[in-house]
Amino acid sequence: MEAKASQNAGRVMDGPTNPMVTPLLTDLYQFTMAYAYWKAGKHNERAVFDLYFRKNPFGGEFTVFAGLEECIKLIANFKLTEEEVSFIHKSLPGSCEEGFLNYLREIDCSDVEVYAISEGTVVFPKVPLLRLEGPVAVVQLLETPVLNLVNFASLVTTNAARHRLVAGRPKMLFEFGLRRAQGPDGAIGASKYCYIGGFDATSNVAAGRLFGIPLRGTHSHAFVSSFMSPDEILERSLCSSDGSNTCEDFVTLVHSWLSKIQWLKSLGGIFGETNQSELAAFISYALAFPNNFLALVDTYDVIRSGVPNFCAVALALSDLGYRAVGIRLDSGDLAYLSSEARKIFHTIEKELGVPGFGKMIITASNDLNEETLDALRKQGHEVDCFGIGTYLVTCYAQAALGCVFKLVEINNQPRIKLSEDVSKVSIPCKKRCYRLYGKEGYSLVDIMTGENEPCPKVGERILCRHPFSESKRAYVVPKRVEELLKCYWPGKSGKVREELPALQDIRDHCIKQLEQMRPDHIRRLNPTPYKVQSNDSNGVGGASLT
Ligand SMILES: Nc1ncnc2c1ncn2[C@@H]1O[C@H](COP(=O)(O)OP(=O)(O)OP(=O)(O)O)[C@@H](O)[C@H]1O
Ligand SMILES: O=P(O)(O)OC[C@H]1O[C@H](OP(=O)(O)OP(=O)(O)O)[C@H](O)[C@@H]1O
Ligand SMILES: O=C(O)c1cccnc1
Ligand SMILES: [Mg+2]
């Protein structure tokens, strides 16, 4: 065990994704406190801090924890450069002794221990997501960057998970937020964490390269409106998909299909002359990507122009052995338009005998959010994929998660932060945290115990009580007990360090966690609060949880 621990601790780890994440990415008062600790000879006192939040976001009763990997990468690489030390020197109020600068030159996180809940886990208020233990001055310097790395990551992952829950599992979800995100880091972070929260892909090419997230894109309005007429298309030939023949005039082939569907009885003359500049754009795009033809159909009129133009191009492609992908709708009533488009696709499949035409993929976008996804689901729609930007990545419905970082123990002495507001009182002591599962497989309660208290055991009755309300207590007989806080950075403790999982594994873990939640905790309307309690060692009676 010792050998493995030192091997892990010695492994070189990449720095944080964003090179701006350095020891200077902290509040000034962390450095002034560090100086004052040092001056008082207290800087090496051993402190324990908990990072937790007080209230679930978005009016819900769950949160998904994210940002751990970036925290560990910061901690693993925490070292001030000479230039940074001299900047701190200049920035501290008044004079600062040379000895402190030497101290700053030497510090790193080799004596810090980090325990954390696994990234992608569903978590609840008050339970520590991270527990940092180490020399007080060093751990204080970590407070701000660690909060910064966890707060938005967990908020946007939770937002993505909520969008996933309301859209339903079979739907594809694409994150399209780069243009609207809070700057480059907000965008890259949103792409990474929306993927963890259950999105299938991103339009953000940089995030695709950095994290290996699948990239997806559709078709733009500018491309459609950049064309005037099919006469602009000079190179009109297209080779069949198997290379066996070439259609010399693909434009004429498309026109012949357009007239055929125009007069299809079962379409009831729903369209006459379609927009020819739009048709030109579709043909041109099909010539560029015959295997991936997808058209944005709402530039002029979805039902009278966009969809018929798309169908004509898709049918011409089908003659040459290609299968079109589908359409994107970006305005109007998405429930109505997707259903009408689907009817047309089915009619063409049936009337013209083109197998699979009814299954064209319909993508929808345009200011989508949880509410609109919910409304669409209730109305009924035929959308297969949703492209979601602004509301998702900016976390429009809630600006911040509000994680805090509180001192709970110093030199083995418990510490508490009091407040008039009971929900703001910190819970003292170095803790262990457990999730207790009932006989149906759902988790029943998270409990926090003192570090040296006995751990809950399967099949044994445990009395759990609300941390601040004496009367709220219940017995639990767990069928399974899971310890939540694991060692992700052992410091000098010699403990084995948990490996940081691959992004894909974090995503799988998150999806599985949400599938295992009792449905009433994750429903949108009036969800049931999940219980977070502490262990009751004095054994007074209570109700039972099963
Ligand atoms: N069936 C529906 N039920 C509820 N909301 C919908 C439905 N269809 C679309 N929406 C949402 O309604 C809003 C419509 O936006 P808006 O009023 O700007 O119209 P628009 O279709 O974008 O118009 P424009 O043609 O000017 O772009 C969007 O937020 C969209 O997601
Ligand atoms: O609507 P969001 O959820 O933010 O998703 C991304 C949007 O970005 C694009 O258009 P853009 O918003 O740039 O232009 P538009 O509003 O005119 O469609 C795209 O067509 C989507 O509508
Ligand atoms: O690929 C798309 O359709 C896309 C990408 C980003 C924003 N809006 C749309
Ligand atoms: Mg828009």
Q: 301-313, pLDDT tens digit by residue?
A: 999 999 999 999 9
On whether both 237 and 358 belong to a single domain, the answer is yes
What's the whole-model pTM score?
0.95
pLDDT, one tens digit per residue, over 127-148 is 999 999 999 999 999 999 999 9
pLDDT, one tens digit per residue, over 363-373 is 999 999 999 99
Strand 361-364 with 326-329, pairing:
parallel
Distance 71 CA to ligand 3 centre (A): 31
Percent of the chain past pLDDT 70, that is, above it, reads 96
- H-run or E-run covering 187: helix 183-196
- The yes-or-no verdict on residue 210 having pLDDT over 70 is yes
pLDDT band at 536; cut points 50, 70, 90: low
On whether both 372 and 443 belong to a single domain, the answer is no
322, 357, 383: which is the final residue of a domain? 383
- The yes-or-no verdict on residue 12 having pLDDT over 70 is no
- Does the Cβ of 331 fall within 6 Å of ligand 1? yes
- Does the Cβ of 332 fall within 6 Å of ligand 1? yes
Nearest-ligand number for the alpha carbon of 201: 3
Distance 175 CA to ligand 4 centre (A): 13
On whether both 414 and 320 belong to a single domain, the answer is no
- The yes-or-no verdict on residue 253 having pLDDT over 60 is yes
225 assigned to some structural domain: yes
- Does the Cβ of 379 fall within 6 Å of ligand 1? yes
Distance 344 CA to ligand 2 centre (A): 26
Nearest-ligand number for the alpha carbon of 366: 2
CA angle 168/174/177 to nearest 5° reads 125
Summary mean pLDDT of the chain: 94
- The yes-or-no verdict on residue 6 having pLDDT over 50 is no
pLDDT band at 416; cut points 50, 70, 90: confident
- Does the Cβ of 339 fall within 6 Å of ligand 1? no
On whether both 441 and 497 belong to a single domain, the answer is yes
Distance 389 CA to ligand 4 centre (A): 8
Percent of the chain past pLDDT 90, that is, above it, reads 88
pLDDT band at 472; cut points 50, 70, 90: confident
pLDDT (0 to 100) of residue 543: 46
Q: Nearest CA to 361 among 292, 299, 304?
A: 292
C-alpha 198/C-alpha 189 separation (Å) is 14
- Does the Cβ of 191 fall within 6 Å of ligand 1? no
**Helices marked H in 414-460:** none
On whether both 373 and 438 belong to a single domain, the answer is no
What separation in angstroms does the CA of 528 have from each of 264, 473, 522? 53, 17, 8
On whether both 266 and 313 belong to a single domain, the answer is yes
Q: Using the Cα atoms of residue 68, residue 73, residue 79 and residue 82 in order, give the sign of their dihedral.
A: negative
pLDDT band at 8; cut points 50, 70, 90: very low
| Residue bearing the CA closest to ligand 2, atom 9 | 366
Tokens found for residue 64: 């998904």
- H-run or E-run covering 535: strand 531-535
- Does the Cβ of 376 fall within 6 Å of ligand 1? yes
On whether both 136 and 273 belong to a single domain, the answer is no
Q: What are the strands, taking DSSP E only, across 375-511? A: 385-388, 404-410, 413-414, 431-437, 443-450, 462-465, 473-476, 480-483, 486-489
Can you tell me which atom of ligand 2 is nearest the CA of 368?
Answer: 3
On whether both 244 and 375 belong to a single domain, the answer is yes
pLDDT (0 to 100) of residue 545: 52
C-alpha 120/C-alpha 127 separation (Å) is 15
We report the CATH number of the domain holding residue 234 as: 3.20.20
pLDDT (0 to 100) of residue 419: 85
| Residue bearing the CA closest to ligand 1, atom 11 | 372
| Residue bearing the CA closest to ligand 3, atom 3 | 218
23 assigned to some structural domain: no
Amino acid at 3: A
pLDDT (0 to 100) of residue 538: 41
pLDDT (0 to 100) of residue 155: 99
pLDDT band at 10; cut points 50, 70, 90: very low
pLDDT band at 473; cut points 50, 70, 90: confident
- The yes-or-no verdict on residue 3 having pLDDT over 50 is no
- Does the Cβ of 335 fall within 6 Å of ligand 1? yes
390 assigned to some structural domain: no
On whether both 416 and 513 belong to a single domain, the answer is yes
Can you tell me which atom of ligand 2 is nearest the CA of 388?
Answer: 3
Phi, psi of 217 (to 5 degrees): -155, 160
- Does the Cβ of 365 fall within 6 Å of ligand 2? yes
Nearest-ligand number for the alpha carbon of 380: 1
Contact 322, 248 (CB under 8 A): no
Averaged pLDDT, 229-233: 94
| Residue bearing the CA closest to ligand 1, atom 13 | 367
**Mutate which of 302, 328, 367 for ligand 1 pocket (most atoms within 8 A of beta carbon):** 367
pLDDT (0 to 100) of residue 424: 83
519 assigned to some structural domain: yes
- H-run or E-run covering 296: strand 294-296
pLDDT, one tens digit per residue, over 94-120 is 879 999 999 999 999 999 999 999 999
The alpha carbons of the chain give a radius of gyration, in whole angstroms, of: 29
Nearest-ligand number for the alpha carbon of 331: 1
pLDDT, one tens digit per residue, over 138-189 is 999 999 999 999 999 999 999 999 999 999 999 999 999 999 999 999 999 9
Distance 176 CA to ligand 3 centre (A): 5
pLDDT, one tens digit per residue, over 54-68 is 999 999 999 999 999
On whether both 408 and 328 belong to a single domain, the answer is no
CA atoms within 13 A of residue 25's CA, in its CB half-sphere? 16
On whether both 64 and 154 belong to a single domain, the answer is yes
pLDDT (0 to 100) of residue 467: 73
354, 383, 412: which is the final residue of a domain? 383
227 assigned to some structural domain: yes
229 vs 269, higher pLDDT:
229
475 assigned to some structural domain: yes
| Residue bearing the CA closest to ligand 3, atom 6 | 176
| Residue bearing the CA closest to ligand 2, atom 3 | 389
On whether both 294 and 442 belong to a single domain, the answer is no
359, 383, 407: which is the final residue of a domain? 383
**Helices marked H in 299-369:** 307-319, 334-352
We report the CATH number of the domain holding residue 103 as: 3.20.140.10
What range does the domain containing 376 cover? Answer: 218-383
**Treating both helix axes as pointing N-terminal to C-terminal, what angle do 503-515 and 136-167 enclose, rounded to 10 degrees?**
60
543 assigned to some structural domain: no
Which range (176-180, 336-340, 473-477) has the least confidence? 473-477
468 vs 321, higher pLDDT:
321
- The yes-or-no verdict on residue 387 having pLDDT over 50 is yes
Contacts of 360 (CB under 8 A, 6+ apart): 314, 324, 325, 326, 327, 341, 345
538 vs 452, higher pLDDT:
452
Contacts of 281 (CB under 8 A, 6+ apart): 223, 224, 225, 226, 227
- Does the Cβ of 371 fall within 6 Å of ligand 1? no
**Mutate which of 180, 204, 218, 391 for ligand 3 pocket (most atoms within 8 A of beta carbon):** 218
Q: How many domains does one find in the chain?
A: 2
| Residue bearing the CA closest to ligand 2, atom 10 | 366
181 assigned to some structural domain: no
